[in-house]
Structures are given as C-alpha cells and as structure tokens.
C-alpha cells in the first residue's frame, strides 16, 4: 500500500493534534495550586497549600490510645509515612497528587484529601 501526499498530511495533523492534547493535559495537571486538607474525627485539623515546588512537610498527629499517624507532603504529593492501625491501608494507598484524590484511615478516623479548582479525575471514570 502506498501513501499519497494527502494521506501523509492527514497523518501528521492527527499526530500533532494528539501531542498538543497530551501536552495541555500535562500542563493542566502540573502544579494544581490546590490545598491539602487533613481532617481528624470529622473536624478540620490542618489546611496547607499544595504545589509542585513545595518543600517537605511532616504532620505528626497524636491520637487517643497511643495511636499516631505521620503524613508527609512535598512537591510530589501527599502520603502516609507511618501509622499505628491494624491494616495500614492508608499507608498502602500511596501518594496522592491530584485534586479529588484522598487517603482515608478508618481506624484512626483521619481523612487526607486535595481540594482545589482543578477538575477531579475521579469522576471521569465509569465501569
């Protein structure tokens, strides 16, 4: 099969459009300028600005019954570094870095999420 000049032009336009769309998505997601929100037992505990250039911050939260949770936020995202709870699912959640993502520790009643103006990627998924 031989490509004609028009076929090559259409192919180049489609590739350029795809790369432009991908580039815009990357720019939109980087440095969202949101806010990290930490809630303990349903009450606000800490709010701090989140951006890709932020320095490492560790939040050590002492809970009742000799329990604690260490939450680390840096330019890469937010994650639970150390926690005293039976299953440690919040620690296994990994790093969150986009608006709408959250980490929940049910035994300790701690919720960490990122809120901001950006579009949440969570609502775009359907099964």
Residue boundaries of the structural domains of the chain: 1-30, 35-116
Spatial separation of the C-alpha atoms in residues 15 and 42, rounded to whole Å = 48
pTM over 0.75: no
Predicted confidence (pLDDT) per residue in 12-41, tens digit? 999 999 988 887 776 665 545 689 999 999
Cα angle: 127, vertex 124, 103; to 5 degrees = 90
Spatial separation of the C-alpha atoms in residues 63 and 119, rounded to whole Å = 33
pLDDT of residue 98: 86
Architecture of domain 35-116: Sandwich (2.60)
Spatial separation of the C-alpha atoms in residues 121 and 77, rounded to whole Å = 15
pLDDT of residue 122: 54
At 72 the three-state DSSP class reads: strand
What is the maximum alpha-carbon separation in the chain?
A: 74
Predicted confidence (pLDDT) per residue in 78-112, tens digit? 999 999 988 899 999 999 988 889 999 998 999 99
């Amino acid at each position: 099969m031989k490509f004609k000049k028009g076929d090559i032009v259409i192919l180049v336009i489609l590739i350029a459009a795809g790369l432009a769309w991908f580039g815009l998505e990357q720019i939109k997601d980087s440095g969202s300028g949101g806010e990290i929100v930490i809630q303990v037992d349903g009450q606000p505990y800490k709010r701090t600005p989140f951006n890709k250039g932020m320095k490492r911050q560790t939040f050590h939260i002492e809970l009742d019954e000799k329990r604690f949770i260490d939450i680390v936020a840096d330019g890469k995202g937010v994650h639970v570094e150390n926690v005293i709870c039976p299953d440690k699912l919040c620690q296994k959640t990994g790093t969150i870095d986009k608006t709408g993502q959250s980490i929940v520790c049910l035994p300790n009643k701690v919720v960490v999420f990122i809120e901001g103006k950006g579009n949440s990627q969570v609502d775009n998924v359907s099964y």
